[in-house]
């Protein structure tokens, strides 16, 4: 793989893919280089999926600017890309009377940045809004919303790919040589040349910056663990339930968040780690998440947890300093021709559309380009059918019987949705590529039933068993056929003799 | 969407319980019996269970899973049960209208009686909360059984098994026979979860160590499993300090319990048993909703398929009788589990027929008795040379014994 591009985007997270989509509006040659086997595999795929209002960030910050701008057109953005979005609102709950003054302070902060309809509500009003939630009062933030973060990330990437952007998966950037107008990005798959570079490498943005001679940043990965609750508990809350943010903490505190798929997620914790890939989950945090969430929502139990996962925040502030760290969205003098996007933690999802517009403007100042007539204004990654009316399902089945055959019973995902996920626009081939596009295996049985059937389908579509992976790279699913295993053992015994 | 299909008995699920219930409903004279199966074949997990040992109670011989399944598949076909494959029930109402989805589209069915026979699913890593990374190589035992026996795929070379459920034990042997190395089986409880016979035939015969009071506290490996950390647990399931040890492996196989797939039952608002996680039923396997019956693993998790079959056959006959007459024996005698037993099923009986009760003890017991009592008097005492939580106990009590029931209450307990 090699080639000459106008712009090379390093990192296929939501920011990188939003930029790719914005640039696909123009006749530019754009490549996205992603080290993982699919997009949305880092911070962007594993977060709370919250479209923030801006209430938690200073009005005069870079974070504040892009958060507020991004939030404004997020709903339309999701509609264009067929991404689940729900303006479910948020309550920031004071557990005891002593936290009530903090709500007033938050309200003032929110109003300063222009958040509308903020209202302090008392215990009774909170109880009416959220009968299962305990609290002395709350700040009601009705404009807060949720969206499916990985569906958005994938839809941005696929629509960009369909519009002509080249996606290079399994392509880690190892080094960068050259200068503006003639950069060479070295990867295990060959050299990629580009006039301009966008550093949207998330947890590894400091390393990419160093490749172009910028040493001023260091990313401090901060892990956040989550628990997902069974969908049968999904209607216990109507809106997001947040605590009063812990002072000087790394995050907004452990919150109870509905997802657009009808689950509830608990989390995230905040633990600094040296390794941006260390997305383990721990027994200690599991207990802590359940204990803290149960204070607000006493009706949940450990038996409701279907699984746990971790996300990772790319923080620019170490734990020893703590508190607020701002986004970097700029081209710095040491490296002309490189747009640096560093420290894009929360609210990065909300900010992504606005950051993408800014980077598009920056690009076109340097490389004026005509409109791309092949730009995909709207996109649907996989036609979902779970929430469809029965009549519509009948029409779909008439078109393809695969729309009638439910393979993932827990999440009601059909064979057709899985086939569409297999035949994705990015040619991502892992089992997780199918999971994150179709939702199959995300339910309470975690793929116990449909997992083997999806593997059968993949093999039928030409995948060799030993090439199937969970997540690309060395995450092999099968060493081969049972015959291969027996032959290997036989040879081993012969050698031992 | 056409009008509803009118059927006498609709059976949800085409595994061993669904097959037996459908065959007997038809055999008992129900006009139209429809069995709804989500998979592309019937038999549930029997087709992937290629070891033998099925049918020793019903047929007095040891059959393989596919053989056992084939007998009942032939039976439902001969008797004229309609089998709808690749069909998922998406909704069920209390007036027994089913909404189903298949490659034919959406259909509705109005049934005289409904048998819930959806079986169970395996408990997962997420449900038991095993900490660590999330690499490839962590599988549930049933999924591996499908991969190996149906798809001929080898999931790994060096295996640790967590949980000593029967499928896990059977897969330990299977993986050895297919050329894999099984390092050990770890069981968090002080006793095995699988039946004693499987411990001997699947572990001891192959020199696979079983570590009791031991669990996996961490999974290692970023891309593929590279090992697990085992630790011993104390009486309250807390980790014992200083007992951690790393075991190198590329595969972790989970056999940590089965959960009845009761979502349709819960949506209906049926009365459920916290002990079995299944519906509460009377002697006809009739649930709290009129005309809705339940049997097999969705009712209570069985360890021997023959018992699921026998239970389902009775359920099918009762469902047919209800569909045709709207009448079943009035179950007014309450049965409750007393000392030593986790539950007793059925919850109520009429006293007009002999009953096969099923129950499980809390712990392993030797030379004890299961005693049925009413008003302080013993109705029936059954000697039990050996009882274990892993083995369901099935005991028959003749109808004559129920003549002496006082206040419609029977208690069942373990005594010396």
pLDDT, tens only, B225-269 = 999 999 999 988 889 999 999 999 999 999 999 999 999 999 999
Residue B310 has pLDDT above 80, yes or no: yes
3-state SS assignment for residue B390: coil
Residue B105 has pLDDT above 70, yes or no: yes
**Domains of chain B in sequence order:** 1-122+258-328 (3.50.50.60), 124-256 (3.50.50.60), 329-416 (2.60.40)
* A421-447 per-position pLDDT tens digit: 999 999 999 999 999 999 999 999 999
* A27-45 per-position pLDDT tens digit: 999 999 999 999 999 999 9
Cβ-based contacts of B233 with chain A (< 8 Å): none
Contact residues for A136 (Cβ-Cβ < 8 A; gap 6+): A94, A95, A96, A97, A99, A100, A123
Write down the pLDDT at residue A427: 95
Nearest residue to A359 via CA among A4, A15, A67: A15
Nearest residue to B357 via CA among B289, B281, B243: B281
Give the minimum alpha-carbon distance from A28 to chain B in angstroms, rounded to a whole number: 35
Q: pTM for the full model?
A: 0.95
Average pLDDT over residues A252-268: 94
Cβ count near A117 (within 10 Å) = 11
A402 touches chain B (CB under 8 A): yes
Note the ipTM here.
Answer: 0.95
* A132-159 per-position pLDDT tens digit: 999 999 999 999 999 999 999 999 999 9
Cβ-based contacts of B131 with chain A (< 8 Å): 280-283, 286
- Asked if A315 and A222 count as a contact pair (C-beta separation under 8 A), the reply is yes
What does the DSSP 8-state code read for residue B273? -
Cβ-based contacts of A305 with chain B (< 8 Å): 126-127, 129
Long-range contacts of B237-241 (CB under 8 A, 24+ apart): B237/B188
- Asked if B284 and B328 count as a contact pair (C-beta separation under 8 A), the reply is yes
Chain A residues 57-116 with a CB less than 8 Å from chain B = none
Q: What is the enclosing helix (H) or strand (E) of A399?
A: helix A390-399
Residue A197 binned pLDDT confidence (cut-offs 50, 70, 90): very high
Contact residues for A122 (Cβ-Cβ < 8 A; gap 6+): A137
Residue ranges in A73-148 assigned as alpha helix (H): 74-80, 100-113, 123-129
DSSP string for residues in B320-366: HHHHHHS------EEEEE-TTEEEEE-SEE-SSS-EEEEEEESS-EE
Tokens representing A204 are 């590894």
* B136-184 per-position pLDDT tens digit: 999 999 999 999 999 999 999 999 999 999 999 999 999 999 999 999 9
3-state SS assignment for residue B384: strand
Question: Residue B95 forms beta bridges with which residues?
Answer: none
Q: Do B126 and A390 touch (CB under 8 A)?
A: no
Cβ-based contacts of B176 with chain A (< 8 Å): none
Q: Dmax over Cα atoms in chain A, in whole Å? A: 79
What does the DSSP 8-state code read for residue A165? P
Share of chain B above pLDDT 70, in %: 100
Give the minimum alpha-carbon distance from A113 to chain B in angstroms, rounded to a whole number: 39
Q: Do B148 and A482 touch (CB under 8 A)?
A: yes
* A282-310 per-position pLDDT tens digit: 999 999 999 999 999 999 999 999 999 99
- Asked if A296 and A136 count as a contact pair (C-beta separation under 8 A), the reply is no
Write down the pLDDT at residue B358: 97
Q: Do B157 and A286 touch (CB under 8 A)?
A: no
A263-267, B195-199, B325-329, B406-410, range with the lowest pLDDT: B195-199
Cβ count near B30 (within 10 Å) = 25
Average pLDDT, chain B: 96
Average pLDDT over residues B50-62: 95
Residue B1 has pLDDT above 80, yes or no: no
Write down the pLDDT at residue A243: 94
d(CA B232, CA B238): 8
A490 touches chain B (CB under 8 A): yes
Q: Which of A409, A445, A475 sits opposite B88 (nearest CB)?
A: A409
Residue A251 has pLDDT above 80, yes or no: no
Q: Which of A228, A391, A409 sits opposite B1 (nearest CB)?
A: A391
Chain B residues 271-290 with a CB less than 8 Å from chain A = none
Residue A213 has pLDDT above 80, yes or no: yes
Cβ-based contacts of B151 with chain A (< 8 Å): 452, 455-456, 459
Average pLDDT over residues B51-69: 96
Q: What is the enclosing helix (H) or strand (E) of B207?
A: none
Give the minimum alpha-carbon distance from A416 to chain B in angstroms, rounded to a whole number: 11
A496 touches chain B (CB under 8 A): no
Give burial (CB, 10 Å; 0-12/13-18/19+) of A272. Answer: middle
Average pLDDT over residues A265-283: 95
Residue A248 has pLDDT above 80, yes or no: no
- Asked if B116 and B296 count as a contact pair (C-beta separation under 8 A), the reply is no
d(CA B380, CA A132): 48
Write down the pLDDT at residue A247: 79
Q: Do A405 and B127 touch (CB under 8 A)?
A: no
Q: Which of A394, A401, A475 sits opposite B1 (nearest CB)?
A: A394
For B134, name the nearest residue in chain A, comparing CA atoms only.
A280
In order of A388, B28, B29, B112, B316, the CA distances from B283 in angstroms are: 40, 17, 20, 19, 12
Question: Residue A171 forms beta bridges with which residues?
Answer: none
Average pLDDT over residues B322-346: 96
For A220, phi then psi, to 5°, come to -110, 100
Nearest residue to A287 via CA among A273, A267, A312: A267
The answer to whether A52 is a known catalytic residue is: yes
Residue A332 binned pLDDT confidence (cut-offs 50, 70, 90): very high
DSSP string for residues in A481-497: EHHHHHHHHHHHHHHH-
d(CA B48, CA A247): 56
Q: Which of B126, B136, B263 sits opposite A306 (nearest CB)?
A: B126
Nearest residue to B29 via CA among B112, B127, B124: B112
Q: Strand order in B181-186's β-sheet?
A: B138-140, B251-254, B158-162, B181-186, B210-211
Give the minimum alpha-carbon distance from B87 to chain A in angstroms, rounded to a whole number: 7
- Asked if A481 and B155 count as a contact pair (C-beta separation under 8 A), the reply is no
For A88, phi then psi, to 5°, come to -85, -15
Give the minimum alpha-carbon distance from A258 to chain B in angstroms, rounded to a whole number: 19
**Scanning the structure block, which residue is given the tokens 């809106």?**
A239
Chain A residues 232-261 with a CB less than 8 Å from chain B = 232
Chain A residues 279-318 with a CB less than 8 Å from chain B = 279-283, 286, 302-303, 305-309
Q: Do B105 and A404 touch (CB under 8 A)?
A: yes
d(CA B45, CA A485): 24
For B156, name the nearest residue in chain A, comparing CA atoms only.
A479
Residue B41 has pLDDT above 60, yes or no: yes
Contact residues for A417 (Cβ-Cβ < 8 A; gap 6+): A382, A383, A384, A385, A403, A438, A439, A440
Instruction: Give me the catalytic one of A25, A41, A52, A439.
Output: A52
Write down the pLDDT at residue A2: 60
* B260-301 per-position pLDDT tens digit: 999 999 999 999 999 999 999 999 999 999 999 999 999 999
For B148, name the nearest residue in chain A, comparing CA atoms only.
A482
How many residues does the structure list for chain A? 497
* B87-97 per-position pLDDT tens digit: 999 999 999 99
Q: Give Rg (Cα) of chain B.
A: 22
**Scanning the structure block, which residue is given the tokens 């018992």?**
B307
How many Cβ contacts (< 8 angstroms) between chains A and B? 151
Tokens representing A217 are 């940043």
Residue A263 has pLDDT above 70, yes or no: yes
Q: What is the enclosing helix (H) or strand (E) of A413?
A: strand A413-414
Average pLDDT, chain A: 96
Average pLDDT over residues B386-394: 92
Chain B residues 175-234 with a CB less than 8 Å from chain A = 178-180, 217-218, 222-224
* A367-416 per-position pLDDT tens digit: 999 999 999 999 999 999 999 999 999 999 999 999 999 999 999 999 99
Residue A250 binned pLDDT confidence (cut-offs 50, 70, 90): low
CA angle at A324 for the pair A44 and A355, rounded to the nearest 5°:
45
Residue A323 has pLDDT above 80, yes or no: no
Residue B130 has pLDDT above 90, yes or no: yes
d(CA B142, CA B155): 12
Count CA atoms closer than 13 A to A408's CA, side-chain side.
28
């Amino acid at each position: 793989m090699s080639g000459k591009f106008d712009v090379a985007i390093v990192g296929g997270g939501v920011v990188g893919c939003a930029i790719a989509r914005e640039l696909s509006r123009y006749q530019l040659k754009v490549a996205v280089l992603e080290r993982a086997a699919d997009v949305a595999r880092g911070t962007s795929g594993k977060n709370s999926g919250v479209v923030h209002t801006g209430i938690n960030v200073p009005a005069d910050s870079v974070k504040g600017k892009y958060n507020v701008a991004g939030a404004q057109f997020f709903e339309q953005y999701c509609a264009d890309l067929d991404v689940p979005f729900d303006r479910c609102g948020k309550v920031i709950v004071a557990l005891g009377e002593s936290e009530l003054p903090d709500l007033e302070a938050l309200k003032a902060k929110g109003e300063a940045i222009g958040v509308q309809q903020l209202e302090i509500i008392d215990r009774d009003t909170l109880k009416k809004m959220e009968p299962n939630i305990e609290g002395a009062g709350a700040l009601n933030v009705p404009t807060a919303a949720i969206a499916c973060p990985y569906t958005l990330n994938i839809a941005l990437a696929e629509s960009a790919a369909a519009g002509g952007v080249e996606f290079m998966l399994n392509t880690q950037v190892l080094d960068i040589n050259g200068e503006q107008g003639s950069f060479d990005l070295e990867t295990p798959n060959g050299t990629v040349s580009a006039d301009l570079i966008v550093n949207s490498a998330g947890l590894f943005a400091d390393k990419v910056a160093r490749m172009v001679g910028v040493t001023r940043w260091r990313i401090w990965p901060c892990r956040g663990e989550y628990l997902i609750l069974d969908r049968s508990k999904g209607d216990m809350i109507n809106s997001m339930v947040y605590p009063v943010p812990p002072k000087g903490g790394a995050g907004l505190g452990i919150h109870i968040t509905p997802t657009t798929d009808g689950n509830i997620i608990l989390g995230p914790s905040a633990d600094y780690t040296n390794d941006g890939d260390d997305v383990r989950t721990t027994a200690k945090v599991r207990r802590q998440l359940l204990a803290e969430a149960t204070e607000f929502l006493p009706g949940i139990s450990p038996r409701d947890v279907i699984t746990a996962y971790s996300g990772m925040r790319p923080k620019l502030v170490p734990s020893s300093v703590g508190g607020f760290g701002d986004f970097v969205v700029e081209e710095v003098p040491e490296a002309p021709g490189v747009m640096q996007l560093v420290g894009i933690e929360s609210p990065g999802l909300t900010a992504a559309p606005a950051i993408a517009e800014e980077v598009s403007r920056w690009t076109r100042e340097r490389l004026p380009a005509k409109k791309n007539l092949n730009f995909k204004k709207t996109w649907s990654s996989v036609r979902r059918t779970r929430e469809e009316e029965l009549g519509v399902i009948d029409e779909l089945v008439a078109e393809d019987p695969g729309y009638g055959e439910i393979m993932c019973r827990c999440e009601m995902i059909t064979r057709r949705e899985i086939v569409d996920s297999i035949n994705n626009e990015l040619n991502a081939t892992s089992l997780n590529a199918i999971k994150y596009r179709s939702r199959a295996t995300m339910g309470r049985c975690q793929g116990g039933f449909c997992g083997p059937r999806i593997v059968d389908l993949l093999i039928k579509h030409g995948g060799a068993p030993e090439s199937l992976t969970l997540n690309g790279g060395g995450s092999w699913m099968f060493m081969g056929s049972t015959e291969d295993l027996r032959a290997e053992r036989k040879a081993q015994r012969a050698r031992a003799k | 969407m056409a009008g509803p299909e009118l059927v006498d008995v609709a059976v949800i699920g085409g595994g061993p319980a669904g097959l037996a219930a459908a065959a007997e409903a038809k055999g008992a004279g129900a006009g139209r019996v429809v069995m709804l199966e989500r998979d592309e074949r019937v038999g549930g997990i029997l087709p992937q269970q290629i070891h033998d040992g099925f049918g020793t109670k019903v047929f007095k011989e040891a059959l393989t899973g596919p053989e056992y399944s084939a007998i009942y598949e032939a039976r439902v076909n001969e008797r004229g049960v309609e089998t709808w494959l690749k069909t998922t029930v998406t909704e069920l109402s209390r007036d027994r209208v089913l909404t189903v989805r298949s490659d034919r589209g959406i259909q509705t069915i109005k049934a005289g009686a409904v048998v819930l026979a959806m079986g169970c699913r395996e408990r997962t890593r997420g449900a038991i909360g095993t900490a660590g990374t999330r690499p490839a190589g962590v599988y549930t035992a049933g999924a591996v059984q499908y991969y190996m026996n149906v798809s001929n795929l080898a999931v790994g070379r060096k295996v640790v098994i967590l949980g000593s459920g029967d499928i896990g034990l059977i897969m330990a042997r299977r993986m050895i026979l297919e050329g894999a190395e099984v390092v050990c089986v770890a069981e968090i409880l002080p006793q095995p979860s699988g039946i004693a016979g499987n411990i001997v035939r699947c572990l001891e015969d192959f020199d696979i160590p079983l570590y009791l009071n031991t669990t996996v506290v961490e999974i290692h490996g970023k891309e593929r499993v590279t090992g697990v950390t085992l630790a011993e647990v104390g009486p309250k399931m807390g980790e014992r300090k200083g007992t951690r040890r790393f075991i190198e492996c590329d595969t972790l196989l989970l056999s940590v319990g089965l959960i009845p797939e009761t979502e349709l039952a819960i949506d209906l608002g049926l009365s459920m048993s916290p002990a079995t996680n299944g519906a509460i039923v009377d002697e006809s396997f009739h649930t709290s909703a009129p005309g809705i019956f339940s049997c097999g693993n969705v009712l209570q998790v069985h360890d021997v398929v023959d018992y699921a079959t026998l239970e389902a056959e009775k359920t099918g006959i009762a469902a047919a009788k209800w569909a045709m007459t709207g009448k079943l024996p009035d179950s007014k005698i309450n049965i409750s589990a007393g000392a030593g037993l986790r539950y007793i099923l059925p919850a109520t009986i009429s006293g007009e027929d002999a009953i096969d009760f099923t129950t499980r003890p809390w712990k392993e017991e030797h030379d004890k008795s299961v005693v049925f009592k009413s008003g302080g008097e013993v109705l029936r005492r059954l000697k039990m040379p050996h009882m274990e939580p892993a083995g369901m106990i099935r005991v028959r009590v003749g109808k004559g014994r129920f003549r002496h029931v006082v206040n419609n209450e029977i208690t069942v307990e373990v005594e010396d």
